[in-house]
Structure 1
Amino acid sequence: MFKQDSFSTDLSGIPSAIFYLENLIELTIEYQGIKVVPDAIKNFKHLVIFNLNYCIELETLSAYVGFLPLRELNLNGCVSLKTPPIEITRRGHTQTMAFLKRLISGSTPCKRTKLMLVGLGGAGKTSLVRAFLKSHSDKPPEITDGIDIVKWKVPLNQPDDFLEFSVWDFAGQSVYYHTHQFFLAKKAVYVLVWNIRLGAEHAGLDFWLSSICLSRIDLCQDDLKRRYPQITGFFNVSTHTHDNIRELIEAIIKTTLALPYMDEQIPKVWLTFEKLISECKEDILKYDQVADIAPNAGIIDPGEILQSVQFLSDLGSLQYFSSEHLKNYVVINPQWVINVMACIVSIKDSPVKNGRLYHSDIDVIWKNYDTHLHPWILKLTEAFDLTFPVPDQNMNLVPCLLPEEEPEYTWNNDVNETEIREMKITYTFNYLPGMSYRFYISSRSSSFAQFKIRLKILDES
């Protein structure tokens, strides 16, 4: 028997009568308009399969889900889900369950994101950052070398309620475009800056919007807003007179607070762990050193230590790479990675000539970094597809720095008596997206082990 009100629906949208079925083994609630899986889910002590696929309004799972004997928790198509966040669910069932279980010890809403300022060099991005931070200076800002990262904490309406931005100021010179794409993030707010005196057609808007939206666009404001509804507005601002700066800031705050991942619940101990890590003076630590900090935050289990490090990396407060060659270090300061890349690709003079990074020059290229880190840094550039190794030549190729001039080479069309054969393939494009050639070379890098490749790119766009 059920109580008189047992067939009512609570605020979760799930009929409360369901929670009296304590011996339930499998529960499917798919394609429903539920918003929350409530704490009453803990009644299902024998539940092993829980299907919530395509509940597009579902935002929160109770932490008690983590204590159920589930073999399957299916959340495909739950596009509004905040708790657990997507960074956790995409890592699989085990980590999702562990995350939910950890929430029982206490959680806090997270109001953080990246604010990316992009545009051509000299458009005023750095001056705009100064205006955001109310950091006035009569001295013109220096040209940004790579990317500059600063923190911006914005107070909201309630006491102790803040919106935290990690502000990324991208250099606008074209030489940096080859590395910028590695740091463009989905979970971010973008401010595309251009000098209206140059006109939209000369402001690089096509390149930047194509990079962010992954599609070519027509540069008409009305058409842009129609085709890309994520564009929230256009603002004419002056960092000299501060005209419309306040309106821009308010629009950024409003847009950010409306993002679906705002107010994600994060275990408090993970944020304590983050704070302890940030107090380290080093820019990079061995993973074991970071793991030794975790018990001070109340994290003991090695699996949870790895999970929290990966989550903090997704959040952008540190950088961790789980590949076999890189997993032994954690970058505490993300700016460090950018500076490492700028040693190769920069508007300043680079020791890398004609796209060839000779291993004998590594001590010069990264002279400001500990020598024991040099092999790891080289592997990092390979992981970012900035360079790739050429076997048997003690050299890495840096495709974005290859000379544009066509090398002299005479194709041998005659079949000779040796085992060496030459094959010539010509690709012709009416439009070739920027940096496509680099990915082509990188994807063919393993071919160097058996063949000698000569590549000529003709951009006819």
Structure 2
Amino acid sequence: MKQISSFSFDDKEISTEGIEINTWLYENNAIDFTVNIWDFGGQEIYHATHQFFLSKRSLYLLVWDSDIADEQIHYWINVINILSNHSPILLVLNKIDLKVRKIQQNYFERKYPNIVGFFQISAKLRLNVDKLISAIKEQIAKLPHIGEVIPKQWLEIRTELKSLERNHISISEYIDICRKYKLDREDAMVLSQYFHDIGVFLHFQYNHILSKIIFLCPSWVTDAVYKLTDTPQIRDNNGLFNLLDLQVFWGNYPEEKHIHLLELMRNFELCFELPNKKEFIIPELLSTEQPEFVWKEEENLKYQLRYDFIPPGIMTRFIVRNHDLIEESLFWKNGVILCAENSRALITYNVLERIIRVRICGTNKKDMLATIRRDFHYIDFTLNYPTHNESIGCICSSCITRDIPYFFDFKTLAIYQQRIPKKIECPISHKLISIDELIGNIEIIQDAKQSIYNIYNFEKGANHMEIKNLNITGGNINIADKIDKIVYNESTGISHEEFIKVLDHIMHLPTTEVERLKKHYYKIETDYSIEEKQSIGENVKQSLLTTGLSLVQNLAASAVFELVKPVLFQVN
């Protein structure tokens, strides 16, 4: 990377650990470009963390040498494609002064259409580096956001922030700077999101703790994260650390900022706090050894997710998200046991087979499965939906006692669910299995449009909709016996049909989920500030996403605030 940004090379330099960030300035066709280069270390320990810094608005260089197997090249291309939504890639073979290995270029081009170039270089001897630089400049110029017209004040604010030469500033300092350039608070937040997206700085404005600080130097943050994951003491301790340890490992960081850096790791689902211990675990550093435990094998509900390619960190993120349900200390890098409402769930990840397996025993197996599916679906959502197959084990008398029953694909079940009677034949026992008994209230597909139209007073073409005397008893638990009036407003940015889906989704949430949503609105009668609406709306949005309501993803946080509040609180 230094050959590109500064025309230098140091053959004694070690491989990148974590992330190294540099700035490259150049002129192309009389236009000045400022490019942020993020150099990601390829060691396995970093893979799960890298995903949070891969951006869609980027060009990727996948640099490899002749000792790298094709499987690793495929691995990284898949990671890039999943996390960046198929951004352009330049495939670069380095160290050709030592050894050259050909790859099947035509095959890679067919399999990965977003590969836009292949290069063979020697950074040490600077062979073909100039050709690579020309290609990089050409591809950067083609990125969708290049050439966007932005307000002059934005550039002036960026220049002033850079001149501060500080690692971070408070949100109030940032707002004051924006006001100097005639930007109000709302416009400042829009600019903050834009700068965050393109890597100028990091600001997680919808997290209660992180919203109060702007990280002007992203490498200051990433270095702190990798400082923990790279510390031998924490690695040897299977990812365990406490608050006192941070004073040692983050000794070069102001102690008052430790809470922000720790919250950043929690926000990225990289660590969680052990209950009542003031200790934390980084699951990616856990042992792969499965602990000893007793498991009841009889009448288990079995479920599995089989991925074509499984991005790093799915299992450890799931553990973080469900740490409050973990039974005692029964968790390891590729597995966990959860316990809730008289049910136990054993969730394991087989790395080689790319399968996540779930076994559930107890009296509320299907409710437990619904919780597990919800979180895996949310993680898949954040990873741009990696391709996978979802299936559930047969419950016939022959299969229920088998370690490996016949597994019904959910897509197949969706077809049979529309038939009368709702039954499907087990290929092993040839017995007919009731779809309702197999999956209970677990919804495979949601096509409640017609039934919703029958319940709601809905007039097409109107700019609002009133819902009267609503009484839904289906699904899990309804939140309202009666809603006198809810008004749809087109300014929320969704259609009537989407509005109906939001209502139906919330009405069928379990009581615990509804109460969690309500808690975001900590004051009901009084007015909220713009900042409060943004913060609450984003929290509600993230909560709804975890329950599987993906259509709110593209809604503004303020719109989510206005949309959901009356649904939750207009209850007699």
Deviations 1:75-116 (A, max 9, x none): xxxxxxxxxxxxxxxxxxxxxxxxxxxxxxxxxxxxxxxxxx
State the 1:137 CA deviation.
4.2
1:314 paired with 2:197, answer yes
2:160 is matched with: 276
The 8 Å contact of residues 399 and 438 in structure 1, kept in 2 or not, is answered as yes
1:435 paired with 2:313, answer yes
Deviations 1:246-295 (A, max 9, x none): 11111111112122221001111011011111111320111112222223
C-alpha distance in 2 between matches for 1:318 and 1:157: 27
1:343 is matched with: 227
The 8 Å contact of residues 291 and 305 in structure 1, kept in 2 or not, is answered as yes
State the 1:190 CA deviation.
0.5
1:304 is matched with: 187
1:234 is matched with: 118
C-alpha distance in 1 between matches for 2:81 and 2:309: 16
State the 1:460 CA deviation.
3.6
The 8 Å contact of residues 357 and 397 in structure 1, kept in 2 or not, is answered as yes
2:52 is matched with: 182
Letter in 1 for 2:70: E
The 8 Å contact of residues 178 and 435 in structure 1, kept in 2 or not, is answered as yes
The 8 Å contact of residues 269 and 321 in structure 2, kept in 1 or not, is answered as no
C-alpha distance in 1 between matches for 2:134 and 2:9: 23
1:395 paired with 2:279, answer yes
Q: Describe the shift of the 1:200–1:233 C-alpha distance in structure 2 as closer, same or farther (beyond 3 A).
A: farther
State the 1:440 CA deviation.
2.1
Letter in 1 for 2:351: D
The 8 Å contact of residues 351 and 361 in structure 1, kept in 2 or not, is answered as no
C-alpha distance in 2 between matches for 1:444 and 1:252: 42
Q: Describe the shift of the 1:400–1:229 C-alpha distance in structure 2 as closer, same or farther (beyond 3 A).
A: same
- TM-score w.r.t. length of structure 2: 0.51
1:172 is matched with: 42
Higher helix share: 2
Alignment partner for residue 192 of structure 1, among 50, 59, 62? 62
State the 1:452 CA deviation.
6.3
Deviations 1:152-200 (A, max 9, x none): 1121132xx122211111112111112111111111000111112x254
Alignment partner for residue 14 of structure 2, among 127, 135, 142? 142
C-alpha distance in 1 between matches for 2:316 and 2:234: 20
State the 1:432 CA deviation.
7.0
The 8 Å contact of residues 344 and 350 in structure 1, kept in 2 or not, is answered as no
Letter in 1 for 2:14: E
Instruction: Using CA pairs under 8 Å that are at least 6 residues apart, name the structure with larger relative contact order, 1 or 2.
Output: 1
1:355 paired with 2:239, answer yes
The 8 Å contact of residues 239 and 282 in structure 2, kept in 1 or not, is answered as yes
Q: Describe the shift of the 1:338–1:312 C-alpha distance in structure 2 as closer, same or farther (beyond 3 A).
A: same
What is the number of residues matched between the two proteins?
316
State the 1:398 CA deviation.
0.8
Matches within 5 A, 1:370-385: 370-385=254-269
C-alpha distance in 1 between matches for 2:249 and 2:304: 35
- The share of aligned pairs that are identical, in percent, is 25
Q: Describe the shift of the 1:432–1:397 C-alpha distance in structure 2 as closer, same or farther (beyond 3 A).
A: farther
User: Secondary structure of the residue that 2:60 maps to in structure 1?
Assistant: strand
Deviations 1:19-78 (A, max 9, x none): xxxxxxxxxxxxxxxxxxxxxxxxxxxxxxxxxxxxxxxxxxxxxxxxxxxxxxxxxxxx
Letter in 2 for 1:249: I
The 8 Å contact of residues 78 and 309 in structure 2, kept in 1 or not, is answered as no
User: Secondary structure of the residue that 1:193 maps to in structure 2?
Assistant: strand
State the 1:302 CA deviation.
1.6
Q: Describe the shift of the 1:224–1:183 C-alpha distance in structure 2 as closer, same or farther (beyond 3 A).
A: same
C-alpha distance in 1 between matches for 2:70 and 2:232: 30
1:265 is matched with: 149
1:154 paired with 2:26, answer yes
Q: Describe the shift of the 1:330–1:356 C-alpha distance in structure 2 as closer, same or farther (beyond 3 A).
A: same
C-alpha distance in 2 between matches for 1:327 and 1:377: 12
1:94 is matched with: none
Letter in 1 for 2:22: V
Deviations 1:175-227 (A, max 9, x none): 1112111111111000111112x25426x212211101129x9x742122123
Matches within 5 A, 1:320-335: 320-322=203-205, 323-335=207-219
The 8 Å contact of residues 3 and 9 in structure 2, kept in 1 or not, is answered as no
Q: Describe the shift of the 1:194–1:138 C-alpha distance in structure 2 as closer, same or farther (beyond 3 A).
A: closer
State the 1:387 CA deviation.
0.7
The 8 Å contact of residues 299 and 305 in structure 1, kept in 2 or not, is answered as no
Q: Describe the shift of the 1:430–1:370 C-alpha distance in structure 2 as closer, same or farther (beyond 3 A).
A: closer
C-alpha distance in 1 between matches for 2:329 and 2:321: 15
Comparing 436-445 and 149-158, the one that deviates more:
436-445
The 8 Å contact of residues 381 and 387 in structure 1, kept in 2 or not, is answered as yes
State the 1:411 CA deviation.
0.9
State the 1:458 CA deviation.
3.9
1:368 is matched with: 252
Letter in 2 for 1:318: F
State the 1:357 CA deviation.
2.5
User: Secondary structure of the residue that 1:142 maps to in structure 2?
Assistant: coil
Q: Describe the shift of the 1:368–1:184 C-alpha distance in structure 2 as closer, same or farther (beyond 3 A).
A: same
The 8 Å contact of residues 351 and 365 in structure 1, kept in 2 or not, is answered as no
Q: Describe the shift of the 1:429–1:206 C-alpha distance in structure 2 as closer, same or farther (beyond 3 A).
A: same
2:414 is matched with: none
C-alpha distance in 2 between matches for 1:234 and 1:432: 23
State the 1:453 CA deviation.
4.7
C-alpha distance in 2 between matches for 1:430 and 1:264: 37
C-alpha distance in 2 between matches for 1:383 and 1:436: 15
Alignment partner for residue 459 of structure 1, among 329, 332, 351? 351
State the 1:430 CA deviation.
8.3
The 8 Å contact of residues 240 and 281 in structure 2, kept in 1 or not, is answered as yes
2:293 is matched with: 410
C-alpha distance in 2 between matches for 1:271 and 1:221: 41
C-alpha distance in 2 between matches for 1:157 and 1:151: 19
User: Secondary structure of the residue that 1:168 maps to in structure 2?
Assistant: strand
User: Secondary structure of the residue that 1:374 maps to in structure 2?
Assistant: helix
The 8 Å contact of residues 430 and 460 in structure 1, kept in 2 or not, is answered as no
C-alpha distance in 1 between matches for 2:241 and 2:267: 15
Q: Describe the shift of the 1:238–1:398 C-alpha distance in structure 2 as closer, same or farther (beyond 3 A).
A: same
C-alpha distance in 2 between matches for 1:143 and 1:339: 15
Q: Describe the shift of the 1:276–1:300 C-alpha distance in structure 2 as closer, same or farther (beyond 3 A).
A: same
Letter in 2 for 1:195: D
Letter in 1 for 2:27: P
1:445 is matched with: 323
